[in-house]
Amino acid sequence: MRCAMAVAASLRLCFSSLSSSSGHRHRLPSALYLTAAYRRNAKAAHDAFHAPDWKCSRRGMVAASGADAAGSSGVIKIAAISGSLRRASFHAGMIRAAIEIAKENIPDVEIEVLKIGDLPFVNTDLEVDGRFPEVVERFRAKVLQADSILFACPEYNYSMSAVFKNSIDWASRAPNVWAEKPAAIMSAGGNFGGGRSSYHLRQSGVFCDLRFINKPEVFVRAFEPPAKFDADGNLIDSATKDRIKDLLFSLRSWTLRLKSCS
């Protein structure tokens, strides 16, 4: 009984401190609402979160029009990075599929591919008078201009590929251009579908202040039937395309939500 009273008292304390802090009070109803919705029905929670876009207001998280939250152009610019240099790369193929999916289904999203194969290995000796090599400057500028990032992250020996990590490291040099970027990951590989590399990327993203969506997770078991890719690395599996579509919608929502709060 005493324990229950203590919990009730601490909850009251918690609620009163939230009420006295105007910066946080408004978040409580949405957080409770989402938690309850997840318990009731995962699909309902997904719809509640993704159907409208959200913006911060004194009344809490409220629906926003896409154009309103995305800025005057109303276009969300996504920079896509593949961590494989292979000609018939599955990851490059997934990015091509994402571009097609966005064109057909999400008119306010534009995806631009950022190349990383010509970046030199990170070496801080190459930073001269506060400038990076030209190719690095260009890459960093593209990251900075993007509204959000779509990573296609291969798994090499249970982690990210070296060329991919190199790009993460260059853009993290001060000023860190990953900071506060909304981001999503898709991976293809063996039995875990590249999941381990994706989690390593999330770990690096903590220090880089990347803001990843948590779900959906797109881990493609590339070597199991049915075939997911053709000989040129084009994605041919409709179920995987549907998952990438969900990923893009989720990234779009998250981008609008973070933009409206910044």
Ligand X SMILES: Cc1cc2nc3c(=O)[nH]c(=O)nc-3n(C[C@H](O)[C@H](O)[C@H](O)COP(=O)(O)O)c2cc1C
Binding residues for ligand X, rule: CB under 6 A, are 84, 86, 89-91, 154-158, 189-190, 192, 194, 222
Q: What does the CA dihedral 134, 135, 140, 146 come to, rounded to 10 degrees? A: 120
**Rounded Cα distance, 116 and 119, in Å:** 6
**Rounded distance, CA 35 to CA 33, Å?**
5
Min separation Cβ 88 and ligand X, Å? 7
- Pick the closer one to ligand X by CB: 91 or 165: 91
Please state, in angstroms and rounded to a whole number, the distance separating the CA atoms of residues 164 and 11.
46
Closest distance of CB 159 from ligand X, Å: 7
CB nearer to ligand X: pick between 106 and 244: 244
Q: What's the min distance (Å) between Cβ of 189 and ligand X? A: 3
The minimum distance between CB 84 and ligand X, in angstroms, equals: 3
Q: Which is nearer to ligand X, 102 or 222 (CB)?
A: 222
Q: Minimum distance between the CB of residue 37 and ligand X, rounded to whole angstroms?
A: 34
Nearer to ligand X, 89 or 167 (CB): 89
| Kind plus residue range of the DSSP H or E element containing 138 | helix 134-145
Query: What size, in residues, is the chain?
Result: 262
What is residue 238's three-state secondary structure? helix
Question: At residue 151, what are phi and psi to the nearest 5 degrees?
Answer: -95, 130
211 vs 213: CA distance, rounded Å? 7
| Least gap, CB of 134 to ligand X (angstroms) | 27
Region label for 255, one of left (φ > 0), alpha (ψ between -120 and 50) or beta (otherwise): alpha
- Of the two residues 94 and 102, which places its CB atom closer to ligand X in the complex? 94
Nearer to ligand X, 86 or 103 (CB): 86
